[in-house]
């Protein structure tokens, strides 16, 4: 089990999504977006799920967000909706296809996927948010 290995595997799985093909996959919330569609992921939450006398298990939640630049053209905006849907299905498929993230975690699950809008640097983006929960049993040892 490796936290860095889990991050590498999430990056690899997201980079393998080809519909849509992301211009980049970033670790951390972007301060600017140079090209779209862009995919980024970052930690949003970490909680203890159970404890024994020897260790504590944890659930870490990542936000995986895809960015699609809004356009004035109505036909481009219509295409963005299909790209959002394709991204939702293909990110979900990629992550569920490797629930242990190459044996770096015990289990993972995809939460309720949502869409929205955000503004970065005065530019409007359509967003797709995919919560991704990663469970590691016995991650934190408890010393007597």
Whole-model pTM: value is 0.91
32-36, 61-65, 114-118, 137-141: range with lowest mean pLDDT: 137-141
* Mean pLDDT value across residues 114-134: 95
pLDDT tens-place string over residues 5-16: 999 999 999 999
Three-class SS of 108-126 = EEECCCEEEEEEECCEEEE
Strand 38-51 relative to strand 24-27, pairing: parallel
Q: Which CATH superfamily is domain 3-141 in?
A: Phage minor tail protein U (3.30.70.1700)
Q: State pLDDT tens for residues 42-95.
A: 999 999 888 888 889 999 999 999 999 987 776 666 789 999 999 999 999 999
**Residue ranges of the domains in the chain?**
3-141
Q: How far apart are CA 94 and CA 44, in angstroms?
A: 20
Smallest CA-to-CA distance from 37 within 25, 26, 22, 27 is with 22
């Amino acid at each position: 089990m490796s936290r860095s290995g889990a991050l590498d595997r999430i990056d690899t799985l997201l980079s393998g999504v080809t519909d849509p093909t992301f211009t980049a996959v970033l670790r951390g919330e972007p301060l600017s977006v140079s090209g779209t569609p862009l995919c980024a992921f970052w930690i949003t939450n970490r909680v203890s799920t159970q404890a024994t006398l020897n260790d504590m298990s944890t659930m870490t939640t990542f936000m995986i967000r895809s960015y699609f630049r809004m356009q004035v053209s109505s036909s481009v905006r219509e295409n963005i909706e299909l790209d959002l849907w394709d991204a939702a299905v293909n990110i979900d498929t990629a992550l569920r296809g490797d629930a242990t993230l190459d044996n770096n975690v015990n289990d993972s699950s995809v939460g309720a996927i949502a869409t929205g809008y955000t503004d970065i640097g005065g530019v409007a983006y359509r967003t797709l948010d995919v919560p991704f929960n990663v469970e590691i049993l016995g991650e934190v040892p408890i010393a007597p």
